[in-house]
Chain A
Amino acid sequence: MSAVVVKELTKIYGEQRAVDALSFELNRGEIVGFLGPNGAGKTTTMKMLTSFVLPSSGKAEVAGFDVVEEPMEVRRRIGYLPEHNPLYEEMYVREYLQFVAGLHRLPNARQRVDEMIDLTGLKLEQGKLIGALSKGYRQRVGLAQALIHDPEVLILDEPTSGLDPNQVVEIRELIGKLGEEKTVLFSSHIMQEVELICQRVLIINRGKLVADALISDLKMHMHEGSRITLGFARAIQPDELKLMEGVNKIHALGDNRYLLFCESDLREQLFFFAAQKKWPLVELHREVMELENVFQELTLPTD
């Protein structure tokens, strides 16, 4: 059974479609990376899943409960770390976790607070004011509050943003550990990070799902493809390049330079094509595709 089911989920703010007919499912015990450029609609999607905002249309179910019809049931089963990890600065770590346990009406609150402090490594910080903690520890407090009621589904909005590399590694390990028994959806705009902890990735752009694939499939795709940078001495018509066979996408870099996402190594064809058009080719460079480039191919604006 799926832990999260999203069907044609749409959120319209004024004129803008922040999330546009998004559909996906998450299976139990899966760690899924939720990728997309800033403003793609990741946060809005997560806010709808946690019933903080209502969808304009479409449906979303978490742990078998509809987010609109039964928000309380959803909230009992979901652990949520909002973007920027808001916390009550003037509370003490332990006091804050007690408070969250109280909100969930946990019968064994004290014991759960102790367990969370152990799990997230907050032992030495438990008596400190949250406002006095470093960013890494704040993030742990954020995770601890999301986990305290042992939720089935974890929704983490950019859990590693703003952390130093060591802290990023620690948080990643923690998420990896949690994913052994929980369904985790976490957003990020760092492809490598997703590659390290997820089996599967959802990529959205401008509110639309552009990829829902296993990391291993994406890697297959990227081994075949290549990314070619072209530079010309003067202006050309990029539309004609687009018509070439094997060119998936063209992105203008400015100064008459273009980035081409191709299905195979097209350097030779491109050279003759440019020669035939009498376009003075001054740069031709191929890079092996990495996951980061797959992300670019799917989300960079086309030109």
Chain B
Amino acid sequence: MWSIYWKEINAFFSSLIGYVVIGIFLLLMGLVLWVFPDTNLLNYPYATLSPLFDTAPMIFLFLIPAISMRAFAEEQQTGTLELLATKPVSELQIILAKFFADWSLVVFALLPSLLYYYTEYQLGDPKGNLDSGAIWGSYIGLLLLSAVFIAIGLFASSLTKNQIIAFLLAVFLCFLMHWGFYFFSKLPIFVGRGDDLVQMLGVDYHYTSISKGVIDSRDLLYYFSVTALFLSLTRLSLESRKW
């Protein structure tokens, strides 16, 4: 399983994918935090990183499907899936290896943003005057959110040989999972009759909750189950070729 993991990591960094993903993420974050006037931290009345955590899901909505779209679509297109699947590794191992490889890339992209945390820490008046708990909570929320997005992306990628279709499908599903339920809850049939429950199905609800710095086991459970659900669907979709 780890051979596949390292192969995927190597593939990110021997091609441009890895650098482009990290570069675009950091560039956009840098613009949001330090340049765009509406969200510029230097103009903020208090020290915070919340613009980062508000914008990151939107960037991940496009960036993560771009990372995960090739995972299985490319292997199916070139036929290399047949090579992998006839080696002594299970489908689940292949899926997990790709999942962790993609997740690692997201971690690599997030790591340099700790510098922003450090800067903001120094800029606080007095120094260190910022809600660190909320920031760490948000980082954890962002990591869990990206796990869900990657699982969705892998699932979309396993459905098709075409990377563009995999990308679009993943963006669509990620959007539905993240914000879709919030919008659905505004439908007249839900208002006042369980709209809160519908909202709880969305990733955004739990992301907001964890961003406050309170790590609630219900939120963790939500993230783990949604990730596991999409990874199992991926497995099902890969195994369907056998029938």
Spell out A's residues near B (CB within 8 Å).
Answer: 47, 50-54, 72, 75-76, 78, 80, 82, 84, 86-91, 95, 99-100, 102-105, 145
Q: Which of B22-37 contact A (CB under 8 A)?
A: none
Contact A88 B80 (CB under 8 A): yes
- Given A75-B88, A90-B15, A103 and B4 touching (CB < 8 A)? yes
Complex Cα distance, B10 from A78, in Å, reads 27
Q: Which residues of A contact B14 (CB under 8 A)?
A: 90
Contact B79 A86 (CB under 8 A): yes
Complex Cα distance, B84 from A21, in Å, reads 28
Q: Which residues of B contact A89 (CB under 8 A)?
A: 78
Contact A78 B86 (CB under 8 A): yes
CB-based nearest B residue for A80:
B86
Of the residues A54, A76, A84, contact of B88 by C-beta under 8 Å: A76
Interface string of B1-32 (1 = CB under 8 A from A): 01110110011001100000000000000000
Q: Is B193 located at the chain interface by the 8 A CB criterion? A: no
Question: Secondary structure of the B side of the interface?
Answer: helix
Contact B11 A53 (CB under 8 A): no
- Given A76-B88, A102-B3, A103-B4, A53 and B241 touching (CB < 8 A)? yes
Contact A51 B86 (CB under 8 A): yes
Chain B residues within 8 Å of chain A by Cβ, number = 24
- Given A86-B78, A90-B15, A99-B3, A72 and B88 touching (CB < 8 A)? yes
CB-based nearest B residue for A109:
B3
Q: Which residues of B contact A91 (CB under 8 A)?
A: 7
- Given A99-B3, A102-B3, A103-B3, A52 and B86 touching (CB < 8 A)? yes
Contact A100 B87 (CB under 8 A): yes
**Best-buried of B4, B6, B242 by chain A (most CB within 10 Å):** B242
- Given A54-B242, A82-B79, A103-B4, A72 and B90 touching (CB < 8 A)? yes
- Given A53-B241, A87-B80, A103 and B86 touching (CB < 8 A)? no
Q: Which residues of B contact A95 (CB under 8 A)?
A: 10
Q: In whole Å, how far is A286's beta carbon from the nearest beta carbon of chain B?
A: 45
Contact B82 A82 (CB under 8 A): yes
> Can you sample 25 A-B contacts with CB below 8 Å?
A47-B82, A50-B86, A52-B85, A52-B241, A53-B242, A53-B243, A72-B88, A75-B86, A75-B87, A76-B88, A78-B86, A80-B83, A80-B86, A82-B86, A84-B79, A86-B78, A86-B79, A88-B7, A90-B15, A99-B7, A102-B2, A102-B3, A103-B84, A103-B87, A104-B87
Q: Which residues of A contact B59 (CB under 8 A)?
A: none
Q: Which residues of B contact A82 (CB under 8 A)?
A: 79, 82-83, 86
CB-based nearest B residue for A86:
B79
Complex Cα distance, B85 from A90, in Å, reads 19
Q: Which residues of A contact B241 (CB under 8 A)?
A: 52-53
Q: Is B236 located at the chain interface by the 8 A CB criterion? A: no
Complex Cα distance, B93 from A72, in Å, reads 12
Complex Cα distance, B82 from A47, in Å, reads 9
Q: In whole Å, how far is A209's beta carbon from the nearest beta carbon of chain B?
A: 23
Complex Cα distance, B89 from A76, in Å, reads 10
**Best-buried of B2, B4, B82, B84 by chain A (most CB within 10 Å):** B82
Q: Which residues of B contact A78 (CB under 8 A)?
A: 86
Q: In whole Å, how far is B175's beta carbon from the nearest beta carbon of chain A?
A: 31
Q: In whole Å, how far is B72's beta carbon from the nearest beta carbon of chain A?
A: 14
- Given A53-B242, A54-B242, A54-B243, A103 and B89 touching (CB < 8 A)? yes
CB-based nearest A residue for B7:
A99
Q: Which residues of B contact A52 (CB under 8 A)?
A: 82, 85-86, 241-242
